[in-house]
């Protein structure tokens, strides 16, 4: 329960800061502060990991009601369904492929060859330490 | 019957039940996306039984509520995988920045090609980012915030379904590249999809989602000055 309490605490903190004028959604503010506190060891990983794992594994569930709610706009978009579908599909694909290709190319150029193994080894070492 | 469907238990129960069924369906038929099955079942139920969305959302909103702590929980994979992602800081920054620009530009172009109205055009521009940010960004553009939310959610749903296959098809393999592509193009829903595949993908995707949200906020603020 302590894990959920901590996550909700940061959610509340995010809401509070959004209220005082930070121009980001409460969730995003909370995510940034929570991550910073993990790195600063203010929050220990073992306190939050079980609750975080449970929420993350089932995160798709939490989007379902919002998607179901989109049927309310079906009639409004009927006349413009072509523009809406093209926009949604085109924009998602362009951004996905663009980001993916750029990231793949840049990561290869940054660390080509045997250095990759080195990166993996260090990554695991860091994980163990955490 | 009305007293039952308007009780919050109804919305929570049918959503969780539909999700559990969708999980079983996906275990059997791997190609059936969980969210599509879940939402298909729920929409079918509401339509067939003439249950109003207002009634459903009394409980549905309680389910949506957990998106808050779940988004914050993305800090865990981000923290655990940060050592492997940090080395590629430049690649992360450049690809998410350009990916965010592609998202806005392609949205504008596609709506123009489809002869969409000005309202659809303005509401579509911020659709690449997580729903609460898309709603906020719709306002300075003089779009309809609810419409931006619908576009963002459907874009995320679409991206979460085709993402892993499309990226494989394009030869994009590394976990970090996949994560960045999913998070930039399909925000939280794309991230929720890859959480099941790899913790490194989840960390990169969560990071990209946050970065894309911040970058897009700045880009839209500039764009709003031009689009008055």
Q: Which of A39, A102, A104 sits opposite B98 (nearest CB)?
A: A102
User: Going along chain B, which residue ranges are E strands?
Assistant: none
What is the enclosing helix (H) or strand (E) of A28? helix A26-39
Residue from B20, B71, B210 to probe the interface with A (highest A Cβ count within 10 Å):
B71
Q: CA–CA separation, B34 vs A102, rounded Å?
A: 29
Which pTM does this prediction carry? 0.84
Q: What are the chain A neighbours of B144 within 8 Å (beta carbons)?
A: none
C-alpha B213, offset from chain centre: 12
Q: Which of A7, A45, A92 sits opposite B158 (nearest CB)?
A: A92
Q: CA–CA separation, A60 vs B192, rounded Å?
A: 6
Q: Which of B11, B34, B121 sits opposite A60 (nearest CB)?
A: B34
Q: 10 Å Cβ neighbour count for A45?
A: 13
Q: Do residues B60 and A69 make contact, with C-beta atoms less than 8 angstroms apart?
A: yes
Predicted confidence at residue B1, as pLDDT, reads 63
User: Going along A1-130, which residue ranges are E strands?
Assistant: none
Residue from A68, A78, A110 to probe the interface with B (highest B Cβ count within 10 Å):
A68
Query: Which residue of chain A comes nearest to B115, CA vs CA?
Result: A83
Predicted confidence at residue A123, as pLDDT, reads 44
Predicted confidence at residue A114, as pLDDT, reads 42
Average pLDDT, chain A: 83
The answer to whether the CB atoms of A55 and B114 lie below 8 A apart is no
**What single DSSP character describes residue B171?**
T
CB proximity list for B70: less than 8 A, separation 6 or greater: A55, A56, A59, A62, B192
Concatenating the DSSP letter of every residue in B76-115 gives HHHHHHHHHHHTTHHHHHHHHHHHHHHHHHHHHHHHHHTT
With 90 as the cut, is the pLDDT of residue A25 above it?
A: no
Q: Do residues B197 and B205 make contact, with C-beta atoms less than 8 angstroms apart?
A: no
Q: What are the chain A neighbours of B208 within 8 Å (beta carbons)?
A: 99
Predicted confidence at residue A22, as pLDDT, reads 81
Token pair listed for B144: 């309809």
Q: CA–CA separation, B172 vs B160, rounded Å?
A: 16
Q: CA–CA separation, A41 vs A18, rounded Å?
A: 24
Q: CA–CA separation, A82 vs A71, rounded Å?
A: 16
Predicted confidence at residue A116, as pLDDT, reads 45
Closest CA to B205 of B174, B169, B165: B174
Predicted confidence at residue A70, as pLDDT, reads 84
The answer to whether the CB atoms of A95 and B61 lie below 8 A apart is no
Q: CA–CA separation, B210 vs B184, rounded Å?
A: 9
Token pair listed for B172: 């994009």
Q: CA–CA separation, B116 vs B217, rounded Å?
A: 23
Q: Which of A65, A72, A99 sits opposite B99 (nearest CB)?
A: A99
Q: Do residues B163 and B190 make contact, with C-beta atoms less than 8 angstroms apart?
A: yes
pLDDT of chain B, 228 residues: tens digit per residue? 678 888 999 999 999 999 999 999 988 988 888 889 999 999 999 999 999 999 999 999 999 999 889 989 988 988 888 888 888 999 999 999 999 999 999 999 999 999 999 999 999 999 999 888 888 888 889 998 889 999 999 999 999 999 999 999 999 989 999 999 999 999 999 999 999 889 999 999 999 998 898 889 889 988 988 887
Q: What are the chain B neighbours of A72 within 8 Å (beta carbons)?
A: 53
Query: How many residues are given for chain B?
Result: 228
Distances (CA, A) of A5 to A19, A37, B63, B67: 21, 15, 17, 15
C-alpha B218, offset from chain centre: 20
Q: Is B197 exposed, middle or buried (0-12, 13-18, 19+ CB in 10 A)?
A: middle
Q: CA–CA separation, B81 vs B22, rounded Å?
A: 30
The answer to whether the CB atoms of B92 and A57 lie below 8 A apart is no
With 60 as the cut, is the pLDDT of residue A31 above it?
A: yes
Residue from B68, B149, B209 to probe the interface with A (highest A Cβ count within 10 Å):
B68
Token pair listed for B94: 């450049």
Closest CA to B36 of B18, B54, B51, B49: B18
Tens of pLDDT, residues A68-124 = 988 888 888 888 899 999 999 999 999 999 999 999 999 875 554 444 444 444 444
With 80 as the cut, is the pLDDT of residue A34 above it?
A: yes
How large is the ipTM?
0.87
């Amino acid at each position: 329960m302590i894990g959920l309490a901590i996550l909700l605490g940061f959610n509340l903190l995010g809401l509070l800061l959004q209220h005082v004028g930070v121009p980001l959604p409460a969730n995003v503010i909370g995510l940034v502060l929570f991550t910073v506190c993990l790195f600063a060891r203010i929050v220990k990983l073992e306190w939050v990991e079980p609750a975080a794992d449970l929420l993350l594994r089932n995160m798709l569930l939490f989007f379902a009601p919002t998607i179901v709610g989109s049927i309310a706009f079906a009639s409004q978009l009927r006349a413009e369904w072509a523009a809406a579908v093209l926009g949604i599909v085109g924009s998602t694909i362009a951004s996905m492929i663009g980001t993916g290709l750029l990231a793949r190319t840049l990561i290869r150029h940054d660390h080509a060859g045997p250095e990759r193994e080195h990166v993996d080894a260090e990554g695991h070492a860091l994980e163990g330490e955490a | 019957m009305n007293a039952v469907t308007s009780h919050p238990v109804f919305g929570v129960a049918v959503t969780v039940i539909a999700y559990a069924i969708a999980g079983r369906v996906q275990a059997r038929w791997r190609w059936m996306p969980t969210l599509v099955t879940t939402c298909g079942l729920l929409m079918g139920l509401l339509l067939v039984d003439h249950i109003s969305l207002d009634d459903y959302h009394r409980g549905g909103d309680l389910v949506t509520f957990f998106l808050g702590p779940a988004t914050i929980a993305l800090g865990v994979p981000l923290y655990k995988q940060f050592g492997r992602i940090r080395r590629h800081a430049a690649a992360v920054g450049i690809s998410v920045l350009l990916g965010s620009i592609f998202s806005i530009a392609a949205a504008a172009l596609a709506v123009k090609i489809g002869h969409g109205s000005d309202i659809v055009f303005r509401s579509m521009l911020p659709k690449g980012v997580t729903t609460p940010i898309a709603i906020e960004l719709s306002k300075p553009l003089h779009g309809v915030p609810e419409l931006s939310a619908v576009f963002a959610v459907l874009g995320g749903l679409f991206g979460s379904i085709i993402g892993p296959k499309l990226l494989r098809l394009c030869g994009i393999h590394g976990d970090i590249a996949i994560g960045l592509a999913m998070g930039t193009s399909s925000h939280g829903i794309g991230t929720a999809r890859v959480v099941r595949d790899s913790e490194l993908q989840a960390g990169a995707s969560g990071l990209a989602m946050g970065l894309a949200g911040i970058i897009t906020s700045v880009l839209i603020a500039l764009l709003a000055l031009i689009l008055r």
